[in-house]
Structure 1
């Protein structure tokens, strides 16, 4: 198990929805794949997954690209289930997690390892040409958002690299279906081989 003190910050004080066991699996996955190229995550929110991935990338002397428009997913909006008033910019009348994200990077001393890309996933991917050792998808959970993330970023994973998807629920009674469906789509493509799930974290290796 990953020693929590090695993350450089008390991870439980970072806002987010990533389980510690899933985070440790992300850390290990990034450690093994970072030798193949930089890593990239979609859906940084306040930086909990960024700390796990970024610390692994730091150890391997590579970079983590963190893609998020920081305006929140559907469930983060005003009046929705996961809305956080502390992340709501009353002056703009919009959710904004970027300030909190930057604070997390500073606390974890990862500002020289993590490259924030503050843009929608499809926009950030439009002219992307850098091969990636690992891609972690944890963006919007609508079918449109999940498909966009998968179609935009999975092709950039190099052979032997990893594609990770959060909130994969095989039982529809446990949670939303889009992450599970793109996890299945990746396997059906013949380009990825699935490894055992770590709670709701699906990790697949590019063949």
Structure 2
């Protein structure tokens, strides 16, 4: 897997570094670049919005084409966000119900980015949201739960909805197990072997494909 040349940073409606999240700047610029192209084919979908960092990149690109970004997240956090885990954020923990909740912060981000008329939040699990889905998509960005079951569900539930010429992007690709979890890399390998996609250059930990 080879990194492509870094794309220029897009003009965004707010300070992207002010948003909680785990997306590198070169990955965000790449998402914006491909969403700007793919949103001409149809609406885009991200799986795993968290507080909205990737959503701002993708949504800002969709907005340029009067397209729509569906932002799918149950907003209860992945395994690593839970109380006592490595990436737990006490600011996003609702002690009243003893659950993590990033949705309020996400909505604030969308309002501040002027994306309320572009981004459609889908507050649900991936499997539930896909059950009756029928809309073809220009781009799917997978950055949801990193357990093997969650990643497999995201890939199998949504990859077939991508239009020909559309983009599949998968975050946190670590070929070396010592660098990170293997579930996203495993679905990257599935996509590569599927015959449905042509591989595009990887950017940092962002794996990319174009639907044949």
Aligned to 1:72: 77
The structure 1 residue matched to 2:195, chosen from 190, 196, 204, is 190
CA distance in structure 1 between the aligned counterparts of 2:40 and 2:13, rounded to whole angstroms: 22
Higher helix share: 1
Q: Does the CA contact (< 8 Å) of 2:69 and 2:119 recur in 1?
A: yes
Measure how far apart 1:38 and its partner are: 0.4
The structure 2 residue matched to 1:172, chosen from 166, 170, 177, is 177
Q: Deviations over 1:155-194 (max 9, x none)?
A: 1001110000000011111100010010010010100111
Q: What 5-or-longer segments of structure 2 have no aligned partner?
A: 1-6
Moved over 3 A (4+): 1-4
Of 49-58 and 28-37, more deviation after overlay is shown by 28-37
TM-score, normalisation: structure 1: 0.98
Q: What 5-or-longer segments of structure 1 have no aligned partner?
A: none
TM-score, normalisation: structure 2: 0.96
Aligned to 1:203: 208
| Count of aligned positions | 206
Aligned to 1:28: 33
Does the alignment pair 1:43 with 2:69?
no
SS at match of 2:208: strand
Aligned Cα root-mean-square deviation (Å)? 0.7
Does the alignment pair 1:106 with 2:108?
no
Aligned to 2:4: none
CA distance in structure 1 between the aligned counterparts of 2:12 and 2:71, rounded to whole angstroms: 17
Measure how far apart 1:39 and its partner are: 0.2
Q: Deviations over 1:38-95 (max 9, x none)?
A: 0000000000000000000000110000000000000000000000000000111100
